[in-house]
Chains A and B, each alone.
Chain A
Amino acid sequence: MSSMAILRMDRVSKHYRSNGVDVPALRHFSRDFEPGEFVALVGRSGCGKTTLLNLAGAMDFPSSGEVWIGDQMTSALDDAGLTRLRRTRIGFIFQFFQLLPTLSVAENVELPLLLAGAGDARTKALDRLEWVEMADFAHRMPHQLSGGQMQRVAIARALVHSPRLLLADEPIGNLDTTTGNLVLNLLRRAASERGATVLMATHSPESTSIVDTVIRLRDGVVEEVNHPACTV
C-alpha cells in the first residue's frame, strides 16, 4: 500500500443475497487510490460500480477483503465510527442531485457541516458556492435552479467539509452535454486544485477523457484499467 493512499481496497468482494441465492457484485477488487487522482469507473449496469462506491464511502461492508480510508479500516468501525469517517473524509455526489427541497441552496451546502457540528458553516458554504460559481444563488430554493445548477450545488455540498475522497455516482447522467462538461470540469478541479481523490461511476464515454484513470468493470471484476493520455 502506498503510504499516501487515500483509499485502499484490498481483495474486496461483495455478495448480496437475492431470493436465497448468493449474487456476487464485486470480486477480489484491489487498488490504492492516490490524492488528487480522478478515477472513472465504467461498465454496464450491474457491473459493480455503485457497489464499489458504497464500499469506498463507508456505507457498506465488504463480504471479504479490507477497505481502508486513510488509516481506518471500515470493517473495524461501528456505526458511529463510520458516520465520523463520512463526516470528515468523504463527499458524495448523486445522479439526481439529491438536494433537500425544503432547504435553500446555502443551507443545503452547509448541511454536512451542521450534521458534524462544525463551526463557521455558512462562511465555508458560501466559499464552496463561490468555487462552483453559484454564490449568487445562495438564497434560492432548489426548485428554482436548473439541473446543472443543482449538480454544481451538490458538488459544493460534497466539498464543503474538504473531504479527501469524493464519490460521484453518475454525476452527469441526468444532464445535457454542455452542462455535463461543466460538472466534469468541476470534478477535475476538485482533484487537481483541492487534492481530493475523485471516484466517479459513469456510463458516459466522453467523461473518461477528463480523468486520470479509467477502470472498466464487468460482472464485478476489473476488466481493464486505462490511463487516458490527455486531460481537458
Chain B
Amino acid sequence: MHRLKLFHRVILRPLLAEPSRGLLTLVAVSLGVAVVIAIDLAGFAAAGSFRSSMESLAGKAVFEITASSGIPEETLGRLATLPLPLRFEPRIEEYVTDEASGVTTSLIGIDLVAHAQRNVVVGEQTGLEILDNPRAAWVGAGLGKRPGEDLRITIQDRSEVLQVAGVFTEQDDGAQTGPNRVMVVDFPVAQALTGRAGLVDRIEVGIPEGLDEAETRAAIEAVLPPGVELRPFGTRTDANRRMLGAFRWNLRILSGIALVVGAFLIYNTISVSVVRRRGEIGVLRALGVTRGGAQLLFLAEAAAFGAAGGLAGAGLGTLMAQGAVGMLAATVNALYVTSTPGTVALTGWHLMASLLLGMGVSLVAAFAPAREAGSIAPVEAMARGRREYDVRVHAGRNALWAALLLAMGAAFCGLPPVDGRPLFGYLATLLLILGTAMLLPLLIVLLNRLTQRRVHSLLGVEALLASRSLAGSLRRSAVLVGALSTAVAMMVSVGLMVGSFRETVLVWMDNQIQADIYLRAAAPSSPDNYPPIDTAVGDAIAALPEVHAVDRFRAVSLMVNNRPATLGFADSQMMRTLGRTSFLPGQDREAILRKLPVGPYVIVSEPFSQKHDARPGDTLRLPLPDGPFDVTVLGVFNDYSSERGTVFGDARVFGPHFPREEVTSLSVYLKAGVPLEAGRAAVEQSTANRRVLLFTNRSLREEAIRIFDQTFAITWALEAVAVFVAVMGMAGALVALVIDRRGELSLLRFLGASKGQIRGLIYFEAGLLGLISNTVGLALGFALALILIYVINRQSFGWTFQFHWPGMLLLGALSLIYAATLASAWFPARVATRLNPIEVIHEE
C-alpha cells in the first residue's frame, strides 16, 4: 500500500501536473501497439477469409479428393461401391461476382437432394420441388437478398441470372469468415454454369468414428483414377496459409517498427523522469527507500504508460484494422489466392496481447533508466547547485559495442532462411538499428567538435546554444535521434526496396507485355483461380482480318511438393518469336524456348525456383489430370506477376494431359499497320456476347502498376505511422526538454535573450535533431534496403530486382519529415517563451 502511495506522490502527481508530456508519450505507445494489433487483426481477416464458408457447409470432413483439372464424375460411382460407411460430398466451386453489389463470392454446387434429405441446408423453402428450377440458388444472408429475387452474376466469361430460392440463416464464425455470402446451387446446375459436365472439383470424405483412417485411405486410393489424389481435408487451406506466412510475417515486422520507435520514446520519458526527480530520489533514499524501491517506482511508471497505451492501442488498432483489411485482402487476391475480406473482431486474446505488448515494450525500454534511478547516491542527488545531471555516456565504449553489433549483423546476412522465413535477415536489421543507435553519441560528439568553431558565425547564437545543448545532453539527444532516425531509415529502406521493385517491374513489363490486346474472363480471378474463356472466342478473334496472331494461354492451379503453384502453357514458339520473356543471367533464351515443345520440358519462374530449389536440369513431378508427369527444368525466367511460382510449358506437351481444351487468357497481336483502336474495336465486337475484360498493352501496364501500388499502400501506411510516432515523440521530448531546462532558458532571458531568441533556440534544437536524424536515417536506410532487397525479399519471396534510387520520392518524404520535426517544436517553443524567468530562477 505504501508503495502505491509513493508511486502516486512521486510519479503520478507530477505526471498529471504536466499532462502534455505524458499524453504525447501515451499517444506514441498506443499508436505503436495499435499498428501491431491492426496488422494482426487485418491480416487474419484478409488471409483467414479464404477458408470461407465453403468449409462450413458440409460439416466435418476428414479427407478430400482433388485433381488439378477436375475429377471425372464416374469416380463417385466407384467410391459408392466401397464396402465402407463413408460419406462423400461432391462439390463444384467457382468464384463469381454478384453484379448488383460487385461483391466477389463463392458459388458452390452440392448434391442438394442428399442435403435436403439430411436437413443440412437450412432455408425458408426446403421442398424438393424447388430443385426443378434450374436457376434456383440459396444464398448467405450477407448478400442481402430475399427469396424470389433475381440474382445476376458474372461467371467465367458470361453473365447469368439465378433466382434466390432461400437465404441461409445460419451464422459462420464471423471472426474467420466474415458475413456469409456464399451461393449454393444444385450439383447439375453448377456443372452447367461452369461448363464442367461430367466433372467434380472436389469430393469431401466423411469417416464415421471407429473406422481406421489408414485402412480407409488405402481403400479409397485403390479406386481413384490416375491424377486424382486423396489428401487430408484442409490441405489446400493450410498450404495457402503457409504461403501467406511470409507476407504476414513481413507485415508484422514492419508494423513492429512503430513499436520500436515508441520504445525509444518510453526510454526517453523515463530517463527525463529520473533526471527531474533526482533530488526527490535522493531524499527518498535518505529516508529509507531501497535501491530496488526507487527502481520499482520508475518501472511502475513505465508499466503504467504501457498498460494505458496498450489498452488504448487495442481500441485504436481495431479501428485501424477496419481500414487496413480491404487493402490487405486486395493484396492477397492480387498476389496469392482468392479472398474475400472477413470481419475484424477484437478478441480477448488481442486485448491481452495489446496490454502485454504495451507493458512489455515499456518495461524493457525503461529498464536502464530505472536501474540508474536505483543507483543514485542520496548525498550527491540532494546537493544543490549540481542539478545538472552528469550523464555518463561512454561514447567510445558504445562505439565498440556498435562495431560488434554491426559485424554480427553483416554476418547474419549470409545465413540461410529458417523454415522459409528470413529470421537472420530480420535479426540483421535489428542489429543494424541497435548498432547505429549505439554509435549515435559518438557521432553527435564528433559533429559538435567539427562544427563548434563555425556554428555561431554561420547560424547565430541560437544555433550555438542548440548544438551545445544537444551535445551536453548526449543520452537524451542520442535517444531522440535514434527514434527518429529508425523511423526515417525504415521509410528510406522500404522506399528504396519498393522503388527498386517498381522500377524492375516496369522494365519487366516492357519485355513481358508485347501483345497489343489482352483478354481474360470477367469473373473474379487470382493466382489460384483462372476462370476460362470459351475456346470459340480465341478462334473468332484469330479469324479477324486485323489480327496477326492469338496466343492462347491456359493457367491451372496445382500443388507441387505440397505448395500451391501455377502451371501455365501456351504456344512457346509464339513466345519465342513475338515475346521477350527474359531469363536469369547466363541462360540462353533462344535455345531454351526452341527446346521447350519437343519433350517433357518446362521453364520455371524465379519465385518457383527459389521456393522449390528448382534449377535448370532438375526434374519436377507435376500432378496432371491423367497422373504424375515428370518434367525437366530448362531455365528460370523473370516473373513478377505472382509470388506463388509458375511452371511454364508448351501447349503441345501439356494440352493432351487435360480432359478439355480451355484457355484462361488471350494475347492478341495485330497486323502491322492496323491502328490499335481499330483492332480493339474489332476484338470488342467479336466478344460482344461475352463477359470478358479487354486490356490494351498500355492499360494492362497501368492496371499492373495500379495493383503494385495498391499492394504496397499498406507498407507506406505503416511507415507513415512510424514516422508520425517519432515526430510526436519528438514534440513530447522537446516539451520535456523545455521543462527540464527551464532554468537555463530563464537565465538566458536574464542575460538579454529575447523571446524570439528563445523560440529560435528550440526550433534550432528541433532542426538539428531532424537534420542529424534524417542524415543518419538515410545512411541506415540504405544499409537496411540492401538487407531487405538482397536477403529478406529473396528469402521470403524469391524475387531479384535491380537497385534503384527513387530520388524525388525520398527527397519529398525526407523534406516532409524535416518540416514535421520543425513543426513539432511549435508547442515546446510556446511553452519556453511563456516561462516566467523570475519564478523559475527563484525555484532553482
Contact = CB atoms under 8 A, between A and B. Distances in A.
Instruction: Tell whether A pairs with B.
Output: yes
Interface of A: 50, 54, 57, 59-60, 79-80, 83, 86-87, 92, 94, 96-98, 100-103, 107, 111-112, 114-116, 143, 147, 157, 161, 174
Nearest to B467: A102
Contact of A96 (B456, B461, B755, B844): B844
B842 A50 contact: yes
A100 B750 contact: no
Query: Which of B751, B841, B842 counts the most A-chain CB atoms under 10 A from its CB?
Result: B751
5 A-B pairs with the lowest CB-CB distances in the bound complex, closest first: A102-B472, A87-B752, A102-B468, A114-B461, A83-B754
A174 B471 contact: no
B751 A92 contact: yes
Given A100-B747, A174-B384, 14 more contacts: A50-B842, A59-B837, A83-B752, A83-B754, A86-B751, A96-B385, A98-B750, A100-B744, A102-B471, A107-B464, A111-B748, A115-B461, A115-B748, A115-B753
A86 B468 contact: no
Contacts, number: 71
Contact of A101 (B472, B837, B844): B472
Contact of B838 (A54, A79, A157): A54
23 contacts: A57-B750, A59-B750, A80-B754, A83-B749, A83-B752, A83-B753, A83-B754, A83-B755, A86-B751, A92-B750, A96-B844, A97-B385, A98-B844, A100-B468, A102-B468, A103-B468, A107-B468, A111-B751, A112-B752, A115-B752, A116-B752, A147-B385, A161-B752
B752 A174 contact: no
Contact of B747 (A54, A98, A102, A114): A98
Contacts of B842: 50
B757 interface: yes
B752 A96 contact: no
Interface in B727-770: 743-744, 747-755, 757
Query: Which of B748, B749, B752 counts the most A-chain CB atoms under 10 A from its CB?
Result: B752
Contacts of B388: 101, 143
Given A83-B754, A114-B456, A116-B752, A94 B841 contact: yes
Contacts of A147: 385
B479 to A, nearest CB: 17
Contacts of B159: none
Nearest to A87: B752
Nearest to A90: B752
B469 interface: yes
Given A83-B753, A86-B752, A112-B752, A96 B384 contact: yes
Nearest to B469: A102
Interface string B819-844: 00000000000000000011001101
B384 A86 contact: no
A49 to B, nearest CB: 12
A47 to B, nearest CB: 14
Contact of B755 (A57, A79, A86, A111): A79
A80 B756 CA distance: 9
Contacts of B384: 96, 174
Contacts of A83: 749, 752-755
B633 to A, nearest CB: 66
Nearest to A94: B841
Contacts of A87: 752
Contacts of A98: 743, 747, 750, 841, 844
Nearest to B468: A102
Query: Which of A79, A87, A101, A103 counts the most B-chain CB atoms under 10 A from its CB?
Result: A101
A112 B751 contact: yes
A87 B748 CA distance: 11
Nearest to A80: B754
A50 B841 CA distance: 11
Interface string B352-393: 000000000000000000000000000000001100101000
B493 to A, nearest CB: 34
Contacts of A60: 838
Contacts of A50: 842
A103 B461 CA distance: 12
Nearest to A108: B751
B747 A86 contact: no
B750 A86 contact: yes
A101 B389 CA distance: 10
Given A80-B754, A83-B754, A115-B752, A59 B471 contact: no
Contacts of A100: 465, 468, 744, 747
Nearest to A116: B752
Contacts of A116: 752
B390 to A, nearest CB: 8
B464 A114 contact: yes
Contacts of A79: 754-755
A224 B753 CA distance: 36
Contacts of B461: 111, 114-115
B743 to A, nearest CB: 8
B102 to A, nearest CB: 63
Nearest to B743: A98
A57 B750 CA distance: 8
Contacts of B750: 57, 59, 86, 92, 98
A57 B841 CA distance: 14
Contacts of A101: 388, 472
Nearest to B470: A102
Contacts of B390: 143
Contacts of B748: 111, 115
B462 to A, nearest CB: 9
A174 B385 contact: yes
A87 B743 CA distance: 19
B755 A59 contact: no
A50 B839 CA distance: 11
A98 B751 CA distance: 11
B604 to A, nearest CB: 63
A10 to B, nearest CB: 21
Nearest to B744: A100
B187 to A, nearest CB: 82
B118 to A, nearest CB: 82
A115 B464 CA distance: 11
Contacts of B471: 102
A115 B844 contact: no
Nearest to A118: B752
Interface in B638-684: none
Contacts of B468: 100, 102-103, 107
A157 B841 contact: no
Contacts of B743: 98
A111 B465 CA distance: 9
A115 B751 contact: yes
A41 to B, nearest CB: 16
Contacts of A57: 750
A147 B388 CA distance: 15
A224 B461 CA distance: 44
Query: Which of B464, B471, B754, B837 counts the most A-chain CB atoms under 10 A from its CB?
Result: B754
Interface in B785-844: 837-838, 841-842, 844
A143 B387 CA distance: 12
